Structure 1
């Protein structure tokens, strides 16, 4: 995929502000290591794919970046803000969409968005227009007065995405956002994400759908056993694995298989 336009401009001159996200030495254990010293640097306006097998540490890493889980060690900076030292300032710049949508079932989708407006203390008039735009774009406008408890999984996923985008985050974190969606709904979500990336929003996406990652993201990080195996554009990963013309699936399987063999041999 060709690089997207980057419309982000920093307000300061510090070197850390040249990065949307900088992660260094990130570690987390739950009895056993889940994340083992991950380093990541993501540029403003970049669409980044974090790929790995089940249990690789993807969701744990994203939860720490979003400030939902405290790391055992390491640093996380979002646009120059240390997530551990100033979590509220960092969270104002971040939106998180988990693999299972977190909604209030007894609220209608419009009431849910009104709750988000109050939570972020947004300007009500401006937010109302933005909410209408998002619901229409995601084909939820006709369902705006229906309770979320009656929504399909795809509709809940779209409602959660609308809520995440309402405060116009500069860093959008998505954990398996397309899982279980039918083709039409998945297309709506992908189109909206690509549009936001073109507008300068930094996006981190995890997915098991290799063809989706290959088409959508600019740069990839492949992790296994809580550590980064390789990082770069698709062409850079092809060069690293000596698979000229290889698909992302080919590269992913080779890297993960080699990592498993190294662990077994150690």
Structure 2
């Protein structure tokens, strides 16, 4: 029997975005296979967040197309957004709700019934070690707890694709390890994870595929092994992006 052919989890075709005279994203194209853990890496200002925002329906592109599971994000936004869970870096949450209320609100907004939302909310709070903070206002959460409650909101409607922009920033090492386990389980279950991160080591250990972008363009993309070659991913990244200079500091910094 022939295996079922799935469309890519996310396909980006020539996405372009300008802010005034600045070209933030310059015709980026990527194909992210279903069932992969995909890392998107680049220096600050590379266009990672802008690309992911356009690909998930948060920011309208000037040109190009994005398809989630074969569904055009901008032609069929409601259908596309049912397939994706998004953790946007720096996005404002309704932080005058408790963690439990925020997950519940997000689930109801996604069209789930109250019984399903209540069950999933309890599961997610336990899974992310937030059960004791479920009735605490999100405004009183630490940065790491806020990141975890945002991840819970991204997961509550059981999406096929998770798009996570800097999901480990401000998260302690134990919580980060737990989140990695959750994401790896999600991928083993047939889901797809797309992670934007500055941590080359984390991406190298966690992802099976990666794209390096700078100045709004893709410099390299493929499996982690293909992109890094005989070097580490960090070494390959520095080689591709450039900009590193090795100099001694000023004399006044020397303690000798």
Structure 2 CA distance for partners of 1:143 and 1:77, relative to 1, 3 Å: same
2:40 to 22, 36, 50: 50
Report if aligned partners of 2:207, 2:224 keep a CA contact under 8 Å in 1.
Answer: no
* Deviation by residue 1:102-140 (Cα, 9 ceiling, x = unmatched): 322221111111111220120222222121111101110
Could you list the per-position Cα deviations for residues 157-210 of structure 1 after superposition, in whole angstroms to 9, with x for gaps in the alignment?
A: 111111110000111110001112111221122111111111111111011111
Give the match's secondary structure for 1:235: helix
Aligned to 1:227: 217
TM score, norm. by length of structure 2: 0.90
Q: Does 1:254 align with 2:244?
A: no
Distance 2:187 2:84 in 1: 14
User: Where in structure 2 are the equivalents of 1:1-266 lying within 5 Å?
Assistant: 17-31=6-20, 32-100=22-90, 102-239=92-229, 244=230, 246-257=231-242
Equivalent residue of 2:194, what SS?
strand
Runs of 4+ with >3 A deviation: none
- Which SS does the other structure have where 1:89 is aligned? helix
- Contact in 2 for aligned 1:223/1:230 (Cα 8 Å): yes
CA drift at 1:233: 1.4
Asked if the contact 1:27–1:37 (Cα under 8 Å) also holds between the matched residues in 2, the reply is yes
How far apart are residue 101 of structure 1 and its match? 5.1
Contact in 1 for aligned 2:108/2:117 (Cα 8 Å): no
**RMSD of aligned residue pairs (Cα, Å):** 1.5
C-alpha contact 2:212 2:237 (8 A) present in aligned 1: yes
Gaps of 5+ in 2: 244-256
Q: Secondary structure at the match of 1:18?
A: coil
What TM-score, normalized to structure 1?
0.86
